[in-house]
Amino acid sequence: MSILIRANALSKSYGQLKVIDNVSVEIEAGKLIAIVGPSGAGKSTLLNLLGSLDKPDSGEVFFEGVSYKSLSEKKLAELKNRNIGFVFQFHHLLPEFTAVENVAIPAMIAGTSRKKAEELAENLLDKVGMAHRLSHKPSELSGGEQQRVAIARALINSPKIVMADEPTGNLDSKNAGQISQLFQDLCSELGITFLIVTHNDNLAALASRVISLRDGKIV
Ligand code: ADP
Ligand code: MG
């Protein structure tokens, strides 16, 4: 079993508040892993540290054995763009662009031609069940559809891991169930790791491993 991300004794405080308290964890490649815990437990903070969106006060995170700390800002941005896809609770799609364009943009940023990027985007939108909504803008899509587009966007650069922070938190239970199933299908089909912060019991039940966080510690 190969380890994709290894975190060593991470701590992070905001003022007096210790939000992440000496957390060490390994994220295996190819698995669907859920992070659960009450609101304020430090789930988002931990995910951001593991995804290099935030820096710990102490401790270290290694991605395939390479410490984020050892990389320049530029190298770190490259590693992130190439290897990590992010999905948030609110989709963060660009309102003035179509579904295809929203999905294609990260590939174009990574240097893929517009034509190739849009081809890839169409294939991924098909995979997430959105082939019939390619030219719709975010405001013309339902919440579940917007989240599907955001998932396709997270996959466009063939990342090794997709990190999602409460991706079903804004959806009704039917759509939440469908999106949870989609994560599991994509995980087995693409062999990509999915690390998902969730309050959704169904999504946690589909995970091959559940990490429980409470008061900044793994319990
Ligand atoms: P969770 O995602 O589990 O709900 P978070 O990781 O978002 O928890 O936050 C953990 C704790 O840290 C919360 O008490 C929150 O209020 C606090 N916190 C998060 N971000 C900041 C920040 N930028 N400044 C101050 N406190 C913060
Ligand atoms: Mg959170």
What CATH number has the domain bearing residue 191?
Answer: 3.40.50.300
> How would residue 115 be classed by pLDDT, with cut points 50, 70 and 90?
very high
The pick from 10, 11, 13, 14 for probing ligand 1's pocket by mutation, whose C-beta has the most ligand atoms within 8 angstroms, reads 14
Distance in Å, CA 136 to ligand 2 centroid: 29
- The order of strands in the sheet holding 193-197 is 84-87, 161-165, 193-197, 32-36, 209-214, 217-218
Which residue minimizes the CA distance to atom 12 of ligand 1? 19
15-20 mean pLDDT: 95
Identify whether 13 is part of a domain. Answer: no
What is the structure's pLDDT at 89?
Answer: 82
Confidence of residue 77 (pLDDT cuts 50, 70, 90): very high
Tokens of residue 149, six digits: 């587009």
- Percent of the chain with pLDDT strictly greater than 90: 92
- Model confidence band, residue 101 (pLDDT cutoffs 50, 70, 90): very high
pLDDT of residue 37: 95
Q: What is the mean pLDDT of residues 187-191?
A: 93
Within-domain flag for 66: no
Quick check: 14 pLDDT over 80? Answer: yes
Q: Count how many domains the chain has.
A: 1
Q: What is the pLDDT of residues 53-69, one digit of tens each?
A: 999 999 999 999 999 99
22: in domain: no
Q: Report the alpha-carbon distance of residue 205 to residue 213 in Å, rounded.
A: 16
Q: How far is the CA of 160 from the centre of ligand 2 (A)?
A: 22
Distance from C-alpha of 165 to C-alpha of 182, rounded to nearest angstrom: 15
160 pLDDT higher than 90: yes
pLDDT of 53 reads 95
> Structure tokens of 120?
């890839």
3 assigned to some structural domain:
no
Q: How far apart are CA 192 and CA 83, in angstroms?
A: 10
Q: Which run of H or of E encompasses 200?
A: none
* Separation of alpha carbons 207 and 196, rounded Å: 9
* Residue 26 belongs to a domain: no
Of all protein residues, the one whose alpha carbon is nearest to atom 7 of ligand 1 is 44
Indicate whether 8 belongs to any domain.
no
How far does the centroid of ligand 2 lie from the alpha carbon of residue 165, in Å?
7
Nearest to 132 by CA among 98, 97, 93: 98
Among residues of the chain, what percentage have pLDDT more than 70?
100
Q: Does residue 123 lie in a domain region?
A: yes
Q: Which residues are within 8 A (CB) of 176 and not within 5 positions of it... i.e. 6 or more apart?
A: 168, 200, 202, 203
pLDDT computed for residue 215 by the predictor: 96
Query: Does any ligand 1 atom lie closer than 6 A to the CB of residue 12?
Result: no
pLDDT given for residue 90 in this prediction: 81
pLDDT attached to residue 88: 87
Q: Is 140 helix (H, G, I), strand (E, B) or coil?
A: helix
Residue 39, ligand 1, Cβ within 6 A: yes
> Which residue segment(s) compose the domain that 154 sits in?
31-56+73-218
The answer on pLDDT for 73 being more than 90 is yes
Distance separating the N- and C-terminal Cα atoms of the chain: 23
Of 24-38, 78-92, 98-112, 156-170, the least confident? 78-92
CA of 123 to the centre of ligand 2 (A): 31
91 pLDDT band, cuts 50/70/90, is: confident
Condensed to tens digits (0 to 9), the pLDDT of residues 121-143 reads 999 999 999 999 999 999 999 99
What is the reported pTM? 0.94
Position 110 in a domain? yes
